[in-house]
Amino acid sequence: MLQSSIGRKLVMATTGMCLVGFVIVHLLGNSSIFIGADGINAYAEHLHALGPIVWIFRIILLSLFGLHIFFGIQLTLENRAARPIDYNQKKNIRTSFGAETMIYTGLAILAFAVYHLFHFTMHVTNPEISASVLPLDALGRSDVFTMMVLSFQKFFISAVYAGAMVTLLLHLSHGVQSLFQTFGVLNGNTLPIMEKIARAAAIVIFVGFVSIPVSILLGLINI
Amino acid sequence: MDLTLYVWRQDGPDAKGKLEQYEAKNVSPDSSFLEMMDMVNEDLINEGIDPVELDNDCREGICGTCGCVINGIPHGPQEETTTCQLHMRKFSDGDSLTIEPWRAAAFPVVKDLVVDRSALDNIIQSGGYTSAYTGELIGEANNTLISKPIADYSMDAAACIGCGACVAACPNGSAMLFTSAKVAQLAVLPQGAIEAAERVNNMTEAMLNAGFGNCTNHYECEAACPQGISVKFIAKTNREFIKALA
Amino acid sequence: MILDGKCPTGPIENSWDKYRFEMKLVNPSNKRKYKVLMVGTGLAGGAGAATMGELGYNVEAFCYQDSARRAHSIAAQGGINAAKNYHNDGDSVRRLFYDTIKGGDFRAREADVWRLSQVSNNIIDQCVAQGVPFAREYSGLLANRSFGGAQVSRTFYARGQTGQQLLLGAYQALSRQVKAGTVKLHPRTEMLDVVVVDGVAKGITVRNLATGEIESHWGDAVVLATGGYVNVFYLSTNAMGCSVTAAWKACEKGAYMANPCYTQIHPTCIPQHGDQQSKLTLMSESLRNDGRCWVPKKAEDCEKPISEIPEENRDYYLERKYPSFGNLAPRDIASRAAKEQCDDGRGVGPGKRGVYLDYQTAIDRVGQPVIQERYGNLFDMYEKITDENAYKQPMRIYPAPHYAMGGLWVDYNCMSNIPGMFVLGEANFSVHGANRLGASALMQGLSDGYFVIPYTIGNYLAGVKPGEVTDEHAEFKKSREEVTARIDKLVNIKGNRSVASFHRALGKIMWENVGMARSKDSLTEALQEIPKLRDEFWQNVNVTGGKVGRNGQLEDAGRVADFFEFAQVLATDALHREESCGGHFRVEHQTDDGEATRNDENFCYVAAWEYKGVGKAPELHKEPLKFENIKLAVRSYK
């Protein structure tokens, strides 16, 4: 199955679907910032309290990412090899910008994820405003809220995050409808509807994530 | 009408090719694209230049022999139309046309616009059939009832003419639409359902082995298909593959 | 010489069963030792090669197309006949037999036609088992439609793509045998000679159309399923690559060409648009089920828009002339009637060479959606070619050369007069007589391929030692040398005129003098003009490119050269046949109201012509036709 064309597509779709699920949960968790320091700090505290489960979850997530990236690159290389000499002129009619740039947006998201981990999880990139140097909050919890607000008040960081969310938007605008096609649940009538729903979902996720740095930059969320 | 053509010329499979410029003069708008090429070729012959080689046969849009990429679109700008059925009234006086062969690793160029599509035959040979033997007592046709919607669905898939435009259009050079049209046509019929699992595995494997790319759901194939074969058959094929896993 | 068709005797109902039982069989374990060469992979060739492969013979199949799926059988739209009598409308094997003999104007062999009618039902079963998606009723049963020349509904169809679906069925069966290793395919390969050793066909010489190489292949039997020759008219409904070449090469080796003058001119084709036209497009005859043919009654109305021609000024000439069959009159009759109207100055469209095929009555009766469901793809095709919407205005149609009833002479076994060489499908002459009914070509191709050749070839091979002659034999080398010499000759002429221009010129001579209506004068003229053009060809043709690699000009040049020789045999046959029958209409032989007059007393025979060399008159051999089950009668559709 892992050598076949459709088999690997199914791996892409399955891992992609799980990753989308993760992204949605992540977004819901992040949204607790709108409740204020209390919301997101409590959320972070709960996550840390899970202990080894977090690590199991992280390993699963890492393998999903690994599979998705490995097969994504492998399939892309195969697909490039399938047309060694390119057209002088080629017009695409049906496909979308998102579909054509999957490998680039995918790699960009990978790069962003690494940065994101360095930034918020490992506190490497901006240690001066990381939760590990900030004082604990009133309830003695790690002050994730302040870390986020101070980070996103820096325009550069917000811009990187917003840019990354644009690539995620592009990636999902093709990826979500594509996984339904791959699972074979679409037919001639549902495909166009699904394409629209998938784009809408990608936009909702995009707006959800981007609303956080935007709100902070605009001063709607403040310390 | 007069047109300027940029036509891919390549002497043989291993030769290097390039675009050459030719003029097509006094073309009747009622002529087909291939009739326009006939005229250009006749002029080339009279000038002592070898005519442009391009495959074509029935000129009725059904045999699947003809096909070239015209201004970046397989079979040219008219939807659901083969190169031979494309008429010059779809172009305007003074237009420039870039004419290239199908480009895919699995379709090596034979000469000029002619490519070798035997890879598509290999896919069918790997399992695109029912294993019915020929015989008189094979069973009365009407003993197997097939509902009209199923028969129509099967016919929609079976309409594929095997021209290869789907491969030419696919950004990945994949033959998934071609393959899945046959998988889907047979999978829904009681006669073909028996071997459905083996068929989908063998045919998709043969597709990959022939050097075609993988489907990533661009749907360019459907847009280029002269028979309007739907990508819903690709979804159906994916479904058949999942069923075959079980 | 009087030819013997080797037809079985006795009651016709059991003739095929009895004959089959009496045939010799080849032991299953010996079959793989026999090599059979199949030339052509259309319905007959594809089906034949697949079935022989299935039986265990070692088959090699050749086609000039780039794939075995592309033969011109694929273009047949309308359907395939079978005597299933699903509709309880009085059909039977005997009625199909009767209709086919009568439709062929009593110029076919009874035994062959009976066999065809009998196996017609097996064909449908076979194709359904292969997964051919025939049209279905809501009940799940197979659907039928009616077709020209029959008063029962016996035509099975797959939308407007019946030929395509049947051919793909055969191609898939063939592909299965390729996987099983019993069949080897040679696409892009054109047969250029039959190798005959001691009077027996033992192989072929071919040109690889991609590389230009000349190769020989040996076989214990050679089967030609290479289609018809109506591209001799240049503009026809055939594919560009259809030619007489394979059949003609057989003639040059002594095979007889039977009834070449029986050419079918199909009534429902899209009229010519102008001088740049390269081929004509047929639209299924099934269109005549609901369409009504008419022309204006007055010549001065021809240029007017339809809306300005009131009903009473329209001449529905088929309904007027043939009240009982009306618009469903057989092809030859419908074609001639269209020509008559146009000759009378009442044609419509460019050059006034066209008649209207009007759907308004049917649309009013059943509504546009139903018409769309039945003929949608044909209407689309018409619009693509003409830029006219046939739902809004009538189609314009005109007859065009379509099918060759004539072909290589074969006996009941489908074997030609050269032992070891079999001929199937349109390439032979056997069942359609002087005119073929609609939806019968697919039936014949598949009948010959699936159900006839697998038996009769066994009967022949049982008496042959396998592999007795291989391509080591001196005749093969000689054949390759001859083929190479001819190609050298063609590429070295380096004249000033293109191959296509010669083909167009030949087509013009043939269409004007040997077309829908022929006379002694026109045929005599053709026989003077063709050799002149042929001589110019061999001095002045310009075949560009070399003999190595792909060269379409060279391919065409060889085919046109063969058409020249063949055209003379066709015209000779037409001149000798002093009667009008089916697709052969001699203006000297007609009734006062323009109907064909047969001459059963003097011409109730198959005319098989032996080629005697360039510039020499071919020699006539006859096979008398006996009608024991159907009384010879005047063919009337009134």
pLDDT tens digit sequence for B159-191: 999 999 999 999 999 999 999 999 999 999 999
Min Cα–Cα distance to chain B from C494, Å: 10
Q: What is the 3-state secondary structure (H, E, C) of C575-610?
A: HHCCCCECCECECCCECCCCCECCCHHHHCEEEEEE
Q: 10 Å Cβ neighbour count for C8?
A: 18
Neighbours of chain C (3+ CB pairs under 8 A): B
B–C interface: beta-carbon pairs under 8 A:
222
Q: What is the predicted pLDDT for the residue at C378?
A: 86
pLDDT category of residue B212 using cuts at 50, 70 and 90: very high
Residues 559-618 of C with CB under 8 A from B: none
Instruction: Give tens-digit pLDDT for C578-613.
Output: 999 999 999 999 998 888 999 999 999 999 999 999
Q: Which residues of A touch B214 (CB under 8 A)?
A: 5, 8-9, 75, 78-79
Compare all CA atoms of chain C with the CA of B202 and give the residue at the minimum distance: C179
Min Cα–Cα distance to chain B from A203, Å: 20
Give yes or no for residue B33 having a pLDDT over 80: yes
- Is C70–B118 a contact, with Cβ atoms under 8 angstroms apart? no
Using CA atoms, how far apart are residues C112 and C625, in angstroms rounded to an integer? 12
Q: What is the predicted pLDDT for the residue at B17?
A: 96
* Chain B contact probe: residue of C20, C137, C179 with most B CBs at under 10 A: C179
- Is A84–B105 a contact, with Cβ atoms under 8 angstroms apart? yes
Task: Give the residue-averaged pLDDT of C373-394.
Answer: 90
C161 touches chain B (CB under 8 A): yes
C/B touch flag: 3 or more CB pairs below 8 Å: yes
Using CA atoms, how far apart are residues B5 and B9, in angstroms rounded to an integer? 12
Q: What is the predicted pLDDT for the residue at C330?
A: 85
Min Cα–Cα distance to chain B from C173, Å: 6
Q: Which residues of B touch C137 (CB under 8 A)?
A: 148
Using CA atoms, how far apart are residues B52 and C250, in angstroms rounded to an integer? 32
B197 touches chain A (CB under 8 A): no
Using CA atoms, how far apart are residues C129 and B144, in angstroms rounded to an integer? 9
pLDDT category of residue C350 using cuts at 50, 70 and 90: confident
Q: What is the predicted pLDDT for the residue at A217?
A: 95
DSSP string covering C302-359, please? TTS-GGGS-GGGEE-HHHHH-TTTGGG--HHHHHHHHHHHHHTT---SGGG--EEEE-
Domains detected in chain C = 266-400 (3.90.700.10), 476-603 (1.20.58.100)
Using CA atoms, how far apart are residues C158 and A161, in angstroms rounded to an integer? 57
Q: What is the predicted pLDDT for the residue at C601?
A: 96
- Is B32–C124 a contact, with Cβ atoms under 8 angstroms apart? no
| ipTM here | 0.98
- Find the CB nearest A88 among B19, B73, B208: B19
- Is B121–C137 a contact, with Cβ atoms under 8 angstroms apart? no
Q: Which residues of B touch A83 (CB under 8 A)?
A: 103-105, 171-173, 213
Min Cα–Cα distance to chain A from B72, Å: 4
**Which tokens go with C213?**
């190489």
- Is C175–B129 a contact, with Cβ atoms under 8 angstroms apart? yes
Tell me the percentage of chain C whose pLDDT exceeds 70.
100
C140 touches chain B (CB under 8 A): yes
Look at residues C496, C509, C569 and name the one whose alpha carbon lies nearest to residue C537: C496
What 3-state class would DSSP assign to C275?
coil
CB B38 within 8 A of CB B27: no
- Is C498–B63 a contact, with Cβ atoms under 8 angstroms apart? no
Give yes or no for residue C463 having a pLDDT over 80: yes
Q: Which residues of A touch B104 (CB under 8 A)?
A: 82-83
Q: What is the predicted pLDDT for the residue at B43?
A: 95
Tell me the percentage of chain C whose pLDDT exceeds 90.
90
User: Quick one: DSSP state of residue C301?
Assistant: G
Q: What is the predicted pLDDT for the residue at C163?
A: 96
CB C284 within 8 A of CB C77: yes
Q: What is the predicted pLDDT for the residue at A132?
A: 87
- Is A5–B106 a contact, with Cβ atoms under 8 angstroms apart? no
CA distances from B86 to B31, B89, C357 (A): 9, 9, 24
- Is B147–C279 a contact, with Cβ atoms under 8 angstroms apart? no
Give yes or no for residue C194 having a pLDDT over 80: yes
Paired residues of C20 in beta bridges: none
How many residues in chain B? 246
CB C145 within 8 A of CB C155: yes
Min Cα–Cα distance to chain B from C520, Å: 34
Q: Which residues of B touch A186 (CB under 8 A)?
A: 232, 235
What 3-state class would DSSP assign to C189?
strand
B15 touches chain A (CB under 8 A): no
Min Cα–Cα distance to chain B from C523, Å: 30
Q: What is the predicted pLDDT for the residue at C297?
A: 95
Tell me the percentage of chain A whose pLDDT exceeds 90.
87
Instruction: Give tens-digit pLDDT for B36-57.
Output: 999 999 999 999 899 999 999 9
Give yes or no for residue C364 having a pLDDT over 90: yes
- Find the CB nearest B214 among A79, A93, A100: A79
Instruction: Give tens-digit pLDDT for C109-155.
Output: 999 999 999 999 999 999 999 999 999 999 999 999 887 778 899 99
- Find the CB nearest B141 among C125, C159, C279: C125
Min Cα–Cα distance to chain C from B79, Å: 11
- Find the CB nearest B81 among C173, C185, C384: C384
Q: Which residues of A touch B230 (CB under 8 A)?
A: 188
Q: What is the average pLDDT score of chain C? A: 95
Task: Give the residue-averaged pLDDT of B218-235.
Answer: 97
Q: Identity (one letter) of the amino acid at C378? A: L
Task: Give the residue-averaged pLDDT of B75-90.
Answer: 96
pLDDT category of residue A223 using cuts at 50, 70 and 90: confident
Q: Which residues of B touch C66 (CB under 8 A)?
A: 55, 65, 116-118
Q: What is the predicted pLDDT for the residue at C375?
A: 85
Q: Could you tell me which residues come within 8 angstroms of residue B186 by beta carbon, excluding any fewer than 6 positions away?
A: B128, B129, B130, B154, B192, B193, B195, B196, B199, C131
Using CA atoms, how far apart are residues C122 and C446, in angstroms rounded to an integer? 10
pLDDT category of residue C373 using cuts at 50, 70 and 90: confident
Domains detected in chain B = 3-111 (3.10.20.30), 117-129+145-245 (1.10.1060.10)
C103 touches chain B (CB under 8 A): no
Using CA atoms, how far apart are residues C256 and C473, in angstroms rounded to an integer? 25
Min Cα–Cα distance to chain C from B31, Å: 7
A/C touch flag: 3 or more CB pairs below 8 Å: no
pLDDT category of residue C630 using cuts at 50, 70 and 90: very high
DSSP string covering A139-190, please? TS---HHHHHHHHHTSHHHHHHHHHHHHHHHHHHHHHHHHHHHHTT---TTH
Q: Which residues of B touch A174 (CB under 8 A)?
A: 217
- Find the CB nearest A4 among B72, B205, B220: B205
- Evaluated on CA atoms C171, C177, C178, C180, the torsion sign reads positive
Q: Which residues of C touch B51 (CB under 8 A)?
A: 544-545, 552-553
Q: 10 Å Cβ neighbour count for C525?
A: 16
Min Cα–Cα distance to chain C from B121, Å: 7
Give yes or no for residue A115 having a pLDDT over 80: yes
In terms of DSSP bridges, do strands C35-39 and C58-62 run parallel, antiparallel, or are they unpaired?
parallel
Q: Which residues of B touch C47 (CB under 8 A)?
A: 134
* Chain B contact probe: residue of C162, C164, C554 with most B CBs at under 10 A: C164
Give yes or no for residue C157 having a pLDDT over 90: yes
B157 touches chain A (CB under 8 A): no
pLDDT category of residue B137 using cuts at 50, 70 and 90: confident
Q: What is the predicted pLDDT for the residue at B4?
A: 98
Q: Identity (one letter) of the amino acid at C70? A: R
Q: Which residues of C touch B129 (CB under 8 A)?
A: 130-131, 172-173, 175-176
Neighbours of chain B (3+ CB pairs under 8 A): A, C
Q: How far, rounded to the nearest angstrom, does the alpha carbon of residue B60 sit from its chain's CA centroid?
A: 14
Compare all CA atoms of chain B with the CA of A81 and give the residue at the minimum distance: B105
Q: 10 Å Cβ neighbour count for C238?
A: 29
User: What phi and psi values does residue B75 have, to the nearest 5 degrees?
Assistant: 70, 5
Give yes or no for residue B201 having a pLDDT over 90: yes
- Is A184–B71 a contact, with Cβ atoms under 8 angstroms apart? no
Assess if CATH 3.40.640.10 describes domain A5-83+95-217. no
Min Cα–Cα distance to chain A from B50, Å: 23
Instruction: Give tens-digit pLDDT for C394-435.
Output: 999 999 999 999 999 999 999 999 999 999 999 999 999 999
C210 touches chain B (CB under 8 A): yes
C154 touches chain B (CB under 8 A): no
Domain range list for chain A: 5-83+95-217
Q: What is the predicted pLDDT for the residue at C399?
A: 95
Instruction: Give tens-digit pLDDT for A57-100.
Output: 999 999 999 999 999 999 999 999 999 999 999 999 999 999 99
Instruction: Give me the residue label for tokens 């299953």.
Output: C28
